[in-house]
Structure 1
């Protein structure tokens, strides 16, 4: 309990300090996610030793719960940022990004893990699936703010946001297929994946999320019409919807990440754009509150000894995944995406598909289920490499993109 109180106090103090310098940080080329990661490394067990998750019990379980909460809250913010007409207008392109893009990224990542680390195929496929989804929490600093609005067309910003939100939940399908293959016979694994994972944990999760978002969107509209809700409560309404979706999804043993995104997407369709602006502003503030601690925790949970065991093969894998996984996929899909109108569009969308909180969530879950530390060692290395690489290149590449790719919304 004392260790937990130390963690809560440290995280609260660090958020306060970052808030006091938030105006300076906004002018910094480094995003808050990268600063939070560096802070976590500094207070972790291998530096100052102020926070050690191992001393608090099951590190994997703690990271899974923390990442699930941050991811759930972040997904609500992503859905609210996307105009309600965008999914209806761009459904073919989004279906292409998800239906073809995710299998391609999974295949590329699996082949890289298999060849570079020389792991058994299904273990390589598991790690490849975990790093397949692009992360909405880490992508938020890239697609929001004045720098992004000046240099990145709306069509690209919304495409990155929608893709990162949807593929996080659907990543569940890709993660659980190799997991089942590792833990069951082939027939049992395929039967379970088709009947339980696909139909219930993903299909039912989507339906439940859509229902929750629609119902609570309608209830909000009715409450507003009756003058029963105060403005300050509106600002936390969507955050509460995210928490409800996370909890209900977990209670029915489904893909709770997909429940959250579906609920927020349905809510987005019900609540009009002027009304949604207040929810979006409140949600972004809540997102920041939850995003900073998860990257601090990632910094404290880095398995340095495991990284040393991976050696240069781990470094090569991290670089190869970042350079090939999404950029190659976007270049292959460019002819099928009408709004990706130029090579700079494809390269920008390809590069900025970070690996972060979603990968942490799935990696911690699989480490907890398999008791295999290798999963966390490899995924945490790729996630940290992504936070550093995308954090450092975010501002300069956004400016470069704004200069060489004229806005054509």
Structure 2
């Protein structure tokens, strides 16, 4: 990649230009920006045969750190723009998606990974955990609008809050897969004592501590910023967004909790302080632009990886396509309908929420993070990258083409 650095910058520049002109050139088309950027990368990867091959296993640390930063910036953006106050009645659809739909997705994909692809038990659980959470980065087009703009109907709010929280809540299952792989690699059994340790530490402690850290950081930073802010004394929104992101994430990871949960909760707690203040709009704008630039970089690189894989003749069996479409067209929608059943929501809203479970950059992070621990075999790792990449690719195009139409079907149009 280094020897082609300048040309790579040119390609990224074209992708950024797509992002700048997209609202003007493609406003009346069903095409989404991620579709364009992945396609650009795939064309480059397929025809630029002198480009160094992007091996996701060898470059796992780079993928992990880049996607990690993109996700936490997107989580801040999602938390800041939510207008809906915290109440059980309003957040009940979100809670059901997190507690019912996501476990259904994890279990279903684990079973399919084990039987359809011959993955080890630990790798199958990792497959389910990496693909179960919806993506806060690629889902930005179906999320609520900027703060205090009124663009917050039930489907958009539910999808935004789900994407903000389920990234952190999938982490316990990623750790379960890692600990199982570690035990099996050492020739040991995964005992009930190990399971209890996982539940108390990786589920109860890390989730609870992440929530507490997020609330404390969000409230304290809001008190500090709004006590110093006045109309003629502008505090740079860039500094505030990055500070909120890194302080919440760094502190949460320091106390061995889930930084993803802490970042979203910190942003939401910050938003609920002086929630009608115009400064939230400035924070949102900076976070959204930062997220878009980082997303473009990742999507072009992902597209190059896809194009190189196709050019090199990576074997894609029919099982990969069948499982990918089954997950996106049946497992997620059915799991969503099950979770939302009994709620007083129009059927069209239930369908839109259930169908728009976009997979993306968060999956790349979870997969690279787990594989970088060094406990999974190379054969399992290759299968995981192939399956997850195809699911993300199909999701980008399928949801990109259908999202606008599905949201227009709902009674409360934005």
User: What interval of TM-score do these two structures reach, taking the shorter chain for normalisation?
Assistant: 0.7 to 0.9
Verify: 1:262 aligned to 2:265, yes or no: yes
Equivalent residues of 1:234, 1:279 under 8 A apart? yes
- 1:375 is aligned to 384
Mark the runs of 5 or more structure 1 residues left unpaired by the alignment.
Answer: none
What is the CA RMSD across the aligned residues, in angstroms? 3.1
Equivalent residues of 1:7, 1:51 under 8 A apart? no
CA gap of 1:195–1:268, structure 2 versus 1, over 3 A, is: same
CA gap of 1:6–1:246, structure 2 versus 1, over 3 A, is: farther
Which TM-score applies when normalising by structure 1?
Answer: 0.86
- 2:287 is aligned to 283
Match of 2:211 among 195, 201, 206: 206
Please say which of residues 376-385 and 267-276 is displaced more in the overlay.
267-276
- 1:351 is aligned to 355
Please say which of residues 377-386 and 5-14 is displaced more in the overlay.
5-14
Match of 2:338 among 329, 332, 335: 332
Q: Deviations over 1:145-190 (max 9, x none)?
A: 79xx99x971111011001110011110122212212222323531
Equivalent residues of 2:19, 2:33 under 8 A apart? no
- 2:186 is aligned to none
Q: How many angstroms apart in 1 are the aligned matches of 2:20 and 2:169?
A: 37
- 1:20 to partner: Cα distance: 4.8
- 1:200 to partner: Cα distance: 4.1
- 1:77 is aligned to 77
The DSSP-based 3-state class of the residue aligned with 2:111 is: helix
- 2:300 is aligned to 296
Which TM-score applies when normalising by structure 2?
Answer: 0.85
- 1:165 is aligned to 164
- 1:392 is aligned to 401
Equivalent residues of 1:43, 1:50 under 8 A apart? no
- 1:32 is aligned to 33
Equivalent residues of 1:75, 1:165 under 8 A apart? yes
Equivalent residues of 2:144, 2:157 under 8 A apart? no
Q: How many angstroms apart in 2 are the aligned matches of 1:110 and 1:178?
A: 10
Q: How many angstroms apart in 2 are the aligned matches of 1:357 and 1:83?
A: 25
The DSSP-based 3-state class of the residue aligned with 1:30 is: coil
- 1:407 is aligned to 412
Q: Deviations over 1:318-349 (max 9, x none)?
A: 111101221001221222433xx222212111
- 1:249 to partner: Cα distance: 4.0
- 1:37 to partner: Cα distance: 0.9
Q: How many angstroms apart in 2 are the aligned matches of 1:382 and 1:262?
A: 28
Number of residue-to-residue matches in the alignment: 397
Please say which of residues 64-73 and 286-295 is displaced more in the overlay.
286-295
- 1:362 is aligned to 366
- 1:7 to partner: Cα distance: 7.7
Mark the runs of 5 or more structure 2 residues left unpaired by the alignment.
Answer: 184-188
